[in-house]
Structure 1
């Protein structure tokens, strides 16, 4: 699967279901049948939706941790807390479990935001605050994170 593209707004219904947008569904066509894993984000008050193949890559890395080291064991427990297997229903909706809805403070309006190979699921108001709050420092962050990378053109000169 290539990287995902786009940010999509939608609404939850009374049961906590979210309709996956047609734009995302089209990008995920090849992996929809495999299902997904939904978990709490490590750094933000949002949820992360992993296509099963992407989740398996992460779990392969996590599985290499020595569980006889306390911090590794604690990390594994916290990282996998609340993790759920999720499938689209016949109507193309994702059911967001109540405990994860409470964690992420998702109410009615939702943002589905691509994040390379996963989808972040946000309460719309919290998403907008997170984006607005980060924009002030984005240029500096971009330089710190990406500024040291050389492009192929740089390497040739």
Structure 2
């Protein structure tokens, strides 16, 4: 599993292409040949860029869901809605499909942010709003998610 690092600001052209930041591109080098999948995020107004290997891991898990259960079928459909394969071109640019630009409300200014094993692609202003809004609650969130409980210590 890859663990990406960094948050970068970029500019998208009128076609939705942006130059992949050099540091991220360097981290993605081993994955460039396999390509990527880009999709809308479940929880935020952004896009998620999965290296093909990571996408296949997610699809393996989803493939185990029972498609004869309506909730499973609905989840699969919603999770994969709008997902597309993309590649970084020889100039180091990534083309964001037009429909996904609209879904995420991406304008000319974008933020590319690492999220452990995937890359998030945000409209710059929306990214700043989410970071600013959550900064007040981050200490509580960190304690809740990462803090050790007594029960955890006994396991």
The interval holding the TM-score normalised by the smaller chain is over 0.9
State how far apart, in whole Å, the 1-side matches of 2:34 and 2:7 are: 23
State how far apart, in whole Å, the 2-side matches of 1:149 and 1:36 are: 38
Residue 51 in structure 1 maps to residue 45 in structure 2: no
Q: What secondary structure sits across from 2:74 in the alignment?
A: helix
State how far apart, in whole Å, the 2-side matches of 1:149 and 1:64 are: 32
Cα displacement (A) at 1:149: 6.9
Equivalent residue, structure 1, for 2:148: 148
State how far apart, in whole Å, the 2-side matches of 1:113 and 1:17 are: 16
Cα displacement (A) at 1:122: 0.1
Residue 117 in structure 1 maps to residue 117 in structure 2: yes
Q: Which runs of 4+ in 1 moved over 4 A?
A: none
Residue 28 in structure 1 maps to residue 28 in structure 2: yes
Distance 1:135 1:15, change over 3 A: same
State how far apart, in whole Å, the 2-side matches of 1:51 and 1:148 are: 32
Equivalent residue, structure 2, for 1:82: 82
After superposition, the C-alpha distances for 1:31-61 in whole angstroms (9 at most, x for unaligned) are 1111000000000000000000000010111
Cα displacement (A) at 1:97: 0.7
Residue 62 in structure 1 maps to residue 73 in structure 2: no
What is the count of residue pairs matched by the alignment? 152
State how far apart, in whole Å, the 2-side matches of 1:78 and 1:15 are: 26
Q: What secondary structure sits across from 1:34 in the alignment?
A: coil
Residue 8 in structure 1 maps to residue 19 in structure 2: no
Q: TM-score, normalised by structure 1?
A: 0.93
Cα displacement (A) at 1:148: 2.6
State how far apart, in whole Å, the 1-side matches of 2:90 and 2:148 are: 46
Unaligned runs of 5+ in 2: none
The CA RMSD measured in Å over matched residues stands at 1.4
Equivalent residue, structure 1, for 2:17: 17
State how far apart, in whole Å, the 1-side matches of 2:77 and 2:3 are: 28
State how far apart, in whole Å, the 2-side matches of 1:16 and 1:25 are: 18
